[in-house]
Amino acid sequence: METLIRKLDGSADDEVIFREAAEWIRRGYPVAFPTETVYGLGGNGLDPSSSRAIYAAKGRPSDNPLILHIADREAILPLVREIPPAAQKLMDAFWPGPLTIIFRKTDLVPRETTGGLDTVAVRMPSHPGAAALIRAAGVPIAAPSANASGRPSPTCAQHVYEDLQGRIPLIIDGGECEIGLESTIVDVTGPVPEILRPGYIGLPALRSLLGTVSVDPAVLGKPDEKTAPRAPGMKYRHYAPQVPLTLVAGPDEKRAAHILQKAQEAAEKGERTGALVCRETLPYYQAEAGDRLLLIPLGSRNRPEEIAHGLFAALRHLDECGLSHVYSETFEEGPLGAAIMNRLRKAAAFDLTDLSELQPSGAADAFTETADTSAETSGTFAETASSFTQKGENNG
């Protein structure tokens, strides 16, 4: 099948594109569309065969549930059994926007869409193109990120094309996604709201709205039997470039020296190394990098939104550079930094070299510091614990 790319220009002509896309969706074909987070691959969320077509196009395991996207608040009513008070607060504060909420589903929502679960994820995106598509289709749009399974989520139409050309009829091109990381996911079906996936809306904002909020331990560490992630999609290999990636934590100069040393060793074997670095530390590398170390600047670490915006494009780029190994700096786990580090840890398959002299203690980072500690959060994060505070420690 030929994959057309249709570019939105903000004019009245865009309506033609949304009508064309809605027609494909009615016929059961998924189409890619922009949102403020990442591109989605949308189909009719109430039609089991549309959901199957989405899984097939992505090559995604069908036990991994899809998010239902709505354009109008009332559209949620037929989809969910109840709207708990915490959910109502979240919707009032953050919709439309980069927040997905997990509810108990009604029978209207097919299990093909929810990966067999009794719950359903719902999000109301703020991107006008996404809202226009949903309204044109006239149904809730089930949409995972529009990447091939396992690849970083697409943040521009070209990324979607690279992954899905020939598999879908249409990509609506709305330019680069503003945020660049997927939505925050909060589950409100239990007694305490729980973050299943960190995103642009961070823990401090959620806590100031809801009070107690817990964090799925799988968000912080490598999933094992004790920390099987509550969002099924978080258990899969994800974001991973083909080239091995190692995160390096520690003081700037020491870290740069380590990465340069690794690049030197690789160069002696005729190999080239890459490094994901921030603008502030670039000078530590530049003088010595030469040809053996390809520097990929991610933006300023004082502006995590900049790092988030370009992260997936950088991860995609790595595989085109003929590198044998890539190292990445770690970033402070502030509200958005926690989401950045969550994606980076997965991309690195949790491979971390920690050069810090002092291991961080209780108050080391904003994400875990304020995390509510429920009994089930005392899992083991041994493999990644050194770069951030273990919630188990906070638990005492």
Rule CB under 5 A: which residues touch Mg ion? 145
Q: Interface with ligand TXA includes 119 (CB under 6 A)?
A: yes
Concatenated DSSP letters of 190-248:
SSS-EEEE--SS-HHHHHHHHS--EE-GGGTS---STT--SSGGGGS--S--SS-EEEE
Q: Interface with ligand TXA includes 227 (CB under 6 A)?
A: no
| Structure token digits, residue 85 | 């008070």
User: Residue 344 binds which entry of Mg ion, ligand TXA, none, with Cβ cut-offs from 5 to 8 Å by kind?
Assistant: none
Contacts of 163 (CB under 8 A, 6+ apart): 146, 147, 148, 151, 154
Q: Interface with ligand TXA includes 121 (CB under 6 A)?
A: yes
User: Residue 117 binds which entry of Mg ion, ligand TXA, none, with Cβ cut-offs from 5 to 8 Å by kind?
Assistant: ligand TXA
CB of 62 to ligand TXA, least distance (A): 12
Is the Cβ–Cβ distance between 136 and 18 less than 8 Å? yes
Is the Cβ–Cβ distance between 214 and 374 less than 8 Å? yes
Binding ligand TXA (rule: CB under 6 A), the pick from 14, 182, 194, 216 is 182
Is the Cβ–Cβ distance between 148 and 52 less than 8 Å? no
Binding ligand TXA (rule: CB under 6 A), the pick from 233, 274, 304, 310 is 233
Q: Interface with ligand TXA includes 137 (CB under 6 A)?
A: no
Q: Interface with ligand TXA includes 157 (CB under 6 A)?
A: no
Nearest to Mg ion of 145, 273 (CB atom): 145
Name the segment binding ligand TXA (CB under 6 A); options: 46-54, 177-185, 360-368, 380-388: 177-185
3-state secondary structure of 313: helix
What phi and psi values does residue 8 have, to the nearest 5 degrees? -75, 140
Q: Interface with ligand TXA includes 38 (CB under 6 A)?
A: yes
> Among positive and negative, which fits the CA dihedral 303, 305, 306, 311?
positive
Q: Interface with ligand TXA includes 193 (CB under 6 A)?
A: no
Q: Interface with ligand TXA includes 223 (CB under 6 A)?
A: no
Nearest to ligand TXA of 35, 377 (CB atom): 35
User: Residue 66 binds which entry of Mg ion, ligand TXA, none, with Cβ cut-offs from 5 to 8 Å by kind?
Assistant: ligand TXA
Is the Cβ–Cβ distance between 97 and 36 less than 8 Å? yes
User: Residue 100 binds which entry of ligand TXA, Mg ion, none, with Cβ cut-offs from 5 to 8 Å by kind?
Assistant: ligand TXA
3-state secondary structure of 274: strand
Residue nearest to ligand TXA (CB): 233
Nearest to ligand TXA of 55, 284 (CB atom): 55
User: Residue 183 binds which entry of Mg ion, ligand TXA, none, with Cβ cut-offs from 5 to 8 Å by kind?
Assistant: ligand TXA
Q: Interface with ligand TXA includes 120 (CB under 6 A)?
A: yes
Contacts of 360 (CB under 8 A, 6+ apart): 386, 387, 388, 389
| DSSP state letter for 66 | P
Residues 301, 281: Cα–Cα separation, whole Å: 9
Is the Cβ–Cβ distance between 39 and 173 less than 8 Å? no
The position carrying tokens 């700037």 is: 252
CB of 103 to ligand TXA, least distance (A): 8
Binding ligand TXA (rule: CB under 6 A), the pick from 91, 196, 311, 344 is 196
User: Residue 281 binds which entry of ligand TXA, Mg ion, none, with Cβ cut-offs from 5 to 8 Å by kind?
Assistant: none
Q: Interface with ligand TXA includes 114 (CB under 6 A)?
A: yes
Binding ligand TXA (rule: CB under 6 A), the pick from 30, 144, 180, 299 is 144
Residues 2, 25: Cα–Cα separation, whole Å: 16
User: Residue 35 binds which entry of Mg ion, ligand TXA, none, with Cβ cut-offs from 5 to 8 Å by kind?
Assistant: ligand TXA
Nearest to Mg ion of 14, 182 (CB atom): 182
Distances in Å between the alpha carbon of 147 and those of 99, 288, 322, 333, 365?
Answer: 20, 36, 22, 26, 31
Q: Interface with ligand TXA includes 390 (CB under 6 A)?
A: no
Q: Interface with ligand TXA includes 185 (CB under 6 A)?
A: yes
Neighbours of 59 (CB within 10 A): 14
List interacting residues with ligand TXA (CB under 6 A): 35, 37-38, 40, 64-67, 100, 102, 114, 117, 119-121, 123, 143-145, 182-183, 185, 196-197, 230-234
